[in-house]
Amino acid sequence: MLGFFFDNSRCTGCRTCEMACVDYNDLPAGRKYRRIIDYEGGTWIDNGDGTFSTSAFCYHISLACNHCANPECVHVCPTGAMHKNDLGLVVVNNERCVGCGYCTIACPYHAPSIDPILRQSSKCHGCSDRVAAGKRPICVEACPLRALDFGEVDDLIARHGTFDANILPLPDSKLTSPNLMVKKSPAADSEMAEEGSVVNWLEIENNHEE
């Protein structure tokens, strides 16, 4: 089974992965297959002695399709267009997609969106052509912080250890069993993460405008 590893403690939110994907896939302005979620929280605390401390935190999540073991997008597609290819990666068959958008609603990670020109679903294809040729995805190669990795899940575990995909604000991984392992930053791994919020909704949601 192929999947992604993401080291949240390394990611600086630079968006090089996002841009490398846009360039490789020749996507028009505003469309992205990989997005960066900026998640922030915390406050200033008055210590009562004329000093202040802060609990402010910020972390970033680089997210594309997770090529889930239990892909809701595939289950709801009425034409079989959304499917797992020979590599086990979840991709769209453009000859079958009727642009109904069911996959965009079913995916808890909001990975697929309807291409406004093609009127068909499109999303991260896991760089299937590169992977079939023994190469790694462009986004993984591009990350200057080496925060991303890709490969057989067993190999990822051997290289990085075992992690799940449960990090705020992502949904519970029980929903689709994503092939994504996330190594959390200290902030993401602490209770204060529950007090945070996504601060770049506009940037993320633009990806889904039709």
- To ligand SF4, the closest distance from the beta carbon of 154 in angstroms equals 19
Size of the site for ligand SF4 (CB under 6 A): 42
Instruction: Note whether 6 and 182 are within 8 A (CB).
Output: yes
Residue 24 binding ligand SF4, by CB under 6 A? yes
- DSSP structure string for 132-201: HTTPPPHHHHH-TT--EEEEEHHHHHHHH----S--TTSPPTTTT--SEEEE--TTTTSGGGGG-EES-H
Instruction: Note whether 198 and 37 are within 8 A (CB).
Output: yes
Comparison of 12 and 53: residue with beta carbon closer to ligand SF4:
12
Residue 100 binding ligand SF4, by CB under 6 A? no
Figure out which of the listed residues 17, 97, 167, 182 binds ligand SF4, where binding follows CB under 6 A. Answer: 17
Residue 185 binding ligand SF4, by CB under 6 A? no
Contact letters for ligand SF4, residues 186-205 (x by CB under 6 A): --------------------
Instruction: Note whether 6 and 61 are within 8 A (CB).
Output: yes
Figure out which of the listed residues 41, 66, 173, 188 binds ligand SF4, where binding follows CB under 6 A. Answer: 66
Residue 73 binding ligand SF4, by CB under 6 A? yes
Residue 39 binding ligand SF4, by CB under 6 A? no
Comparison of 41 and 137: residue with beta carbon closer to ligand SF4:
137
Instruction: Note whether 139 and 148 are within 8 A (CB).
Output: yes
Q: What are phi and psi of 57, to 5 degrees?
A: -145, 160
Q: Write out the two tokens for 27.
A: 């996507």
Closest CA to 88 of 192, 181, 179: 179
Figure out which of the listed residues 3, 41, 71, 196 binds ligand SF4, where binding follows CB under 6 A. Answer: 71
Which residues of this protein are in contact with ligand SF4, per CB under 6 A? 11-17, 21, 24-25, 33-34, 36, 60, 62, 64-68, 71-73, 90, 107, 109, 111-112, 123-127, 137-139, 143, 145, 147-148, 176, 178
